[in-house]
Amino acid sequence: MTGGAEVDAERALAWRDFMVSDYSDAGQERWLADNGIDLLRGTGRLAGPGVVEVSGVRYGADHIVIATGSSPVIPPVPGLEDLAGIRAT
């Protein structure tokens, strides 16, 4: 027995574009600004405790979030998962 399916590519792609806000993050940018959160875009690196450097400019902060769009991996270091702020996914 064989089966088949038809996909309406135009509708499927329209749904994808809707789900990713047509690849615009303007809504998130507004939310960040409204909540006093600075969004820094560019090539970045951690430059020390509480310091991040983005495109050659250094910024200090109490809390730094680096959002790479990937899932975190906790290396197999004994006791690491037991530290505060470390979560396995």
- Domain segments of the chain as ranges: 7-39, 40-89
pLDDT at residue 56, as a whole number:
94
pLDDT of 88 above 70: no
Query: Where does 20-83 have alpha helices with state H?
Result: 26-34
Torsion angle of alpha carbons 31, 63, 74, 89, nearest 10°? -30
Q: At 1, is the pLDDT very low, low, confident or very high (cuts 50, 70, 90)?
A: low
The mean pLDDT of 17-26, rounded to a whole number, is 86
